[in-house]
Amino acid sequence: MTHTQASKYGLLSFAHHHIKRTLLPLREKLAECRMRDNKTIAQRWQNMRVEKRRVYTRLLSGLAAVLLSLTYAMPSFADDSDTLNIYIWGGEVPDDVIQAFQKETGITVNYSTYDNNETLYAKLTAVGNPGYDIIEPSSYYVERMRSVGILQKLDKSRLVNWHYLNPELLNKSYDPGQEYSIPHLWGITGIFVNDKYYDPTKITSWKDLWNPAYRNKLLMLNDLREVFSVSLLTLGLNPNTSDPAEIKAAYKLLKTLSPNVKLYIDDTVISIITDEDATIGMAWNGDVYKAMQSNSHVHFIFPSEGYMVWSDNFAIAKGAPHLDNAYKFLNYLMRPDIAAKVTIEEGYPTANLEAEKLLPASYRNSPIIYPNNAVLDKATFETDITDQSLSVYAHYWELLKLES
């Protein structure tokens, strides 16, 4: 999920920060040597400066290559009426579901995945839609993508299974009227703990993660907005804030958490928790639920300060070349039997109300997968923020990762 890497602007800022931090002290040393008229030492510093410039020129060249790859390394799709091109989150539509769709319809699905919303957004805004039909932005990125005009407005008359969706998950602020997106899976970010190592009854809030007993133990999601939400909620602030002073305060608090952080990661979370490579930290409820099926010592906690809730949503990319096939696929995924199968395999709650009735009792009655209203009342949907605010977050995120 939900689910945030540095933007291209963040990458360049990162390079500039390191060049400045490294070269300026060298310049000062060089001037000092010259003032002492020590030509041997001055030459040595001059050589070091030249070498540093070479190193960072290579760094900038590498970063430029990364940015160019976002622009030019686009997939090549055949123009075939029996084709569908989808670009979605990894691990949210099982392979066997796609294979069954292909067998049932005769449509060939070109299926590629990404692991953060920024990659999706960058690819579609760099040079336009390279040929994707269906994409899967998270809630706050639906808001961003529709505002810049890269989503196709839905024709609900063609979505015959729309009525199966849970009305509680529709018409949220990120897509009023549900004109551009279809909720697929949703989840909540909370705390996991392994009772072989720590007493879960003594962990009730985000602020408990600052306990010195957890030094070098915490798993934190490698997601800018998710990590800052932990600090903002601990401070009693809005996790969707755009206030630079509040973002800075959150960063300062996160700095004090750094000694407890073992790793930042957003993939392989399930296996890390299951194998006890990390025994406490933050995670998405669906991942923890799946880990619990293999390790009974794992628990999930909804922190008392509140938590972020997100949904991953299907949308049609503007300029989709296979619009008819896109609607066929969306209707297929909204079938209750298919939606239930996805939830059982992936571990996250479905947005399909009718599909819930088809789930095993262990899923339907799980307070982790389907928390009660009292729990949901403390949840906050992640919403979009301006580019200017995002750059402030990205700046402090870079500093935090460098200092960890």
User: Quick one: CA torsion of 111, 112, 117, 121, rounded to 10 degrees?
Assistant: -90
- Here the tokens at position 47 are 């050589």
Confirm whether 377 is domain-assigned.
Answer: no
Confirm whether 161 is domain-assigned.
Answer: yes
Per-residue pLDDT, 91: 82
pLDDT tens string 6-24: 333 334 333 444 434 444 4
Per-residue pLDDT, 241: 96
Last residue of some domain: 43, 72, 101? 72
Task: Say if residue 350 is in the same domain as residue 393.
Answer: no
Q: CA 133 to CA 317: how far, in whole Å?
A: 6
Amino acid, single-letter form, for residue 4: T
Task: Say if residue 159 is in the same domain as residue 15.
Answer: no
Task: Say if residue 65 is in the same domain as residue 130.
Answer: no
Domain region containing 345: 83-186+311-355
Confirm whether 64 is domain-assigned.
Answer: yes
Of the two residues 185 and 115, the one the predictor is more confident about is: 185
Cβ within 8 Å of residue 365, ≥6 positions away: none
* CATH code of the domain containing 327: 3.40.190.10
Query: What would the DSSP string read from start to end of 285-320?
Result: HHHHHHHHHH-TTEEEE--TT-EEEEEEEEEEETT-
Confirm whether 320 is domain-assigned.
Answer: yes
Task: Say if residue 203 is in the same domain as residue 181.
Answer: no
Q: CA 85 to CA 131: how far, in whole Å?
A: 7
- Here the tokens at position 328 are 């066929």
pLDDT tens string 23-76: 444 444 434 433 344 444 434 434 444 344 443 334 444 444 444 444 444 555
pLDDT at 155 over 90: yes
Task: Say if residue 173 is in the same domain as residue 197.
Answer: no
Per-residue pLDDT, 78: 54
Q: CA 279 to CA 218: how far, in whole Å?
A: 7
**Number of domains into which the chain is organized:** 3
Per-residue pLDDT, 62: 43
The stretch 206-232 carries a mean pLDDT of: 96
229, 284 contact by CB (below 8 A): no
Confirm whether 371 is domain-assigned.
Answer: no
Place of tokens 């949840």: 379
| Strand positions, DSSP E, 129-181 | 134-135, 151-152
Least confident of 13-17, 140-144, 249-253, 349-353: 13-17
Confirm whether 133 is domain-assigned.
Answer: yes
Confirm whether 77 is domain-assigned.
Answer: no
In percent, the amount of the chain with pLDDT more than 70 equals 80
Max CA pair span of the chain: 84
Q: In 10 A of CB 68, how many CB atoms?
A: 11
Tell how strand 108-114 and strand 83-89 pair up.
parallel
11, 67 contact by CB (below 8 A): yes
Q: Identify which of 154, 26, 8, 92 has the alpha carbon closest to the alpha carbon of residue 290.
A: 92
Strand partners for 192: 281, 300
Per-residue pLDDT, 116: 82
Of the two residues 403 and 323, the one the predictor is more confident about is: 323
Task: Say if residue 304 is in the same domain as residue 330.
Answer: no
Per-residue pLDDT, 126: 86
pLDDT at 349 over 90: yes
Q: How confident is the model at residue 386 (pLDDT cuts 50, 70, 90)?
A: confident
Last residue of some domain: 72, 93, 116? 72
Confirm whether 372 is domain-assigned.
Answer: no
Task: Say if residue 63 is in the same domain as residue 126.
Answer: no
331, 182 contact by CB (below 8 A): no
Report which listed range, 49-58, 83-92, 184-193, is most confident.
184-193
Task: Say if residue 178 is in the same domain as residue 191.
Answer: no
Of the two residues 109 and 44, the one the predictor is more confident about is: 109
pLDDT tens string 115-143: 788 889 989 988 889 899 999 999 989 99
pLDDT tens string 274-332: 999 999 999 999 999 999 999 999 999 999 999 999 999 999 999 999 999 999 999 99
Task: Say if residue 238 is in the same domain as residue 279.
Answer: yes
Task: Say if residue 68 is in the same domain as residue 120.
Answer: no
Task: Say if residue 291 is in the same domain as residue 399.
Answer: yes
Tell how strand 307-317 and strand 151-152 pair up.
antiparallel
Cβ within 8 Å of residue 222, ≥6 positions away: 5, 264, 265, 266
Last residue of some domain: 25, 42, 72? 72
Least confident of 78-82, 96-100, 252-256: 78-82
Per-residue pLDDT, 305: 97
Q: How confident is the model at residue 267 (pLDDT cuts 50, 70, 90)?
A: confident
Q: CA 402 to CA 385: how far, in whole Å?
A: 24
Q: How confident is the model at residue 77 (pLDDT cuts 50, 70, 90)?
A: low
Task: Say if residue 333 is in the same domain as residue 343.
Answer: yes
